[in-house]
Amino acid sequence: MPLLALDTSSAASAAVLADDGATLATRSSGEPRRHAELLTPLIERVLAESGVDRTELTAIVAGTGPAPFTGLRVGLVTARTLGLALDVPVYGVSSLDALAGAALDLPEAAQAGEVLVVTDARRKEVYWARYRAVVGAGAQRSVELVDGPGVDAPAVLAERGLDGVLVVGPGTALYPELLPAGAQVGDLDPAELGRVALARLAEAVAASPDLPLPEAAVQLPTEPLYLRRPDAVPPPAAKRASA
């Protein structure tokens, strides 16, 4: 029962996972642009490398951001289109949640009370969210959101105090003087989106055993997480000249 996970919150990336959370194949373009051009070939490559035909997929997991509008839209539209074509459910997971999930593999995570994930938001700001670990085994591991998500200058986060907090994510490399990394978690592996989704689906089923899975998993919507107002806005309506 494999599933496909894809993300365009940074570089275009895709992965195929088994239903126990094991990665069967994962790829990233390494480029923060050209998502529309690069994502579909990446999906074809990971399906071929995993030996999974697209008709065998049982679900699609899409990264919901935060990210700029255009790139994020490519991933979400692709995921929804595939889900419709294959008649399988599509689930959304924040890229910040997935990076926090990846941090659970770090030895430092067991010692830290919380994990702060920071990624590049451009404009000398970072996207951020703060988590508490809810550790299980394999696909059952998960994280709990404590604060955020938000977008702020790094100095604003530093002023709140980071004692006892493991700071991870690509944003730490951009502002090391303000956001020292307790340990590095690099670019998002889309397989981690799938593992977070599997853990949350398992939690939803356990909480509502009498409901079928799509209804039980209503907490995994695919609405994009932008965190900023769009730069482009419709022009104001022209005022009518008085007679």
- Mean pLDDT, range 178-202, rounded to an integer: 84
Same domain, 85 and 101: no
Percent of all residues in the chain with a pLDDT value above 90, rounded to a whole number? 46
Q: How confident is the model at residue 237 (pLDDT cuts 50, 70, 90)?
A: low
Task: For 92-132, write each residue's pLDDT tens digit.
Answer: 999 999 999 888 878 787 777 789 999 999 889 999 999 98
pLDDT of residue 209 exceeding 60, the answer is: yes
- Mean pLDDT, range 82-101, rounded to an integer: 94
Is 141 part of a structural domain of the chain?
yes
pLDDT of residue 149 exceeding 90, the answer is: yes
Same domain, 77 and 196: yes
Domain boundary among the residues 175, 196, 216 is at 175
Average pLDDT, the chain: 84
Give, in order, the Cα–Cα distances in Å from 39 to each of 8, 92, 207: 8, 17, 35
pLDDT the model gives residue 30:
76
- Mean pLDDT, range 175-202, rounded to an integer: 84
Which domain covers residue 61, as residue numbers? 3-94+188-207
Task: For 51-72, write each residue's pLDDT tens digit.
Answer: 999 999 999 999 999 987 788 8
pLDDT the model gives residue 85:
96
Same domain, 80 and 121: no
Is 234 part of a structural domain of the chain?
no
Percent of all residues in the chain with a pLDDT value above 70, rounded to a whole number? 85
Is 150 part of a structural domain of the chain?
yes
Is 224 part of a structural domain of the chain?
no
Same domain, 68 and 100: no
| Total domains in the fold of the chain | 2
Is 78 part of a structural domain of the chain?
yes
Q: How confident is the model at residue 212 (pLDDT cuts 50, 70, 90)?
A: low
pLDDT the model gives residue 55:
95
Same domain, 90 and 100: no
pLDDT of residue 200 exceeding 90, the answer is: no
Is 62 part of a structural domain of the chain?
yes
CATH at residue 122: 3.30.420.40
Is 24 part of a structural domain of the chain?
yes
Task: For 18-48, write each residue's pLDDT tens digit.
Answer: 988 999 999 998 777 788 888 999 999 999 9
Same domain, 198 and 85: yes
pTM, two decimals, is 0.85
Same domain, 192 and 83: yes
pLDDT the model gives residue 106:
82
Same domain, 201 and 145: no
